Amino acid sequence: MSLYLPETKFPIQSEVSLAPYTSLRVGGKAEWYIAPENCEQLQDSLIWADKEQLPVTFLGGGSNLLISDRGLPGLVISARNFRYLKIDEEAAQMTVGAGMPLPTVAWKAAKRGWHGLEWAVGVPGTVGGSVVMNAGAHGKCMADTLVTIVIVNTDGHLERLTPEALDFRYRSSNLQYLPRWVVEATFQLQPGYSKQHVTTTTRTHLNQRRSTQPYDKPSCGSVFRNPPEQAAGWLIEQTGLKGFQVGDAQVADCHANFIVNRGQATAQDIYRVMQHVQEKVEQQWSIWLQPEVKLLGEF
**All structural domains of the chain:** 2-78 (3.30.43.10), 85-212 (3.30.465.10), 232-296 (3.90.78.10)
Judge whether 272 counts as a catalytic residue: no
> What pLDDT was estimated at residue 64?
86
Q: Which element (helix H / strand E) includes 165?
A: none
As a whole number of angstroms, the longest Cα–Cα distance in the chain is 58
Known catalytic residue: 184?
A: no
Query: pTM of the predicted model, to two decimals?
Result: 0.87
Helix (H, G, I), strand (E, B) or coil at 180: strand
With 90 as the cut, is the pLDDT of residue 69 above it? yes
The catalytic residue among 112, 171, 180, 209 is 171
Q: What is the pLDDT of residue 5?
A: 64
- Percent of all residues in the chain with a pLDDT value above 70, rounded to a whole number: 97
What was the pLDDT predicted at 10?
74
Distance of CA 41 to the CA centre of its chain: 22
The residue from 78, 173, 219, 222 that is catalytic is 222
Q: Taking a C-beta distance cutoff of 8 angstroms, is the pair 284, 239 a contact?
A: yes
pLDDT tens digits for range 6-61: 655 678 999 999 999 999 999 999 999 999 988 889 988 998 998 899 999 999 88
The whole-number pLDDT of residue 76 equals 96
Bridge partners, residue 88, by sequence: 93
Q: Is 209 a catalytic residue?
A: no
At residue 284, the 3 state secondary structure works out as helix
The active-site residue out of 63, 118, 184, 292 is 292
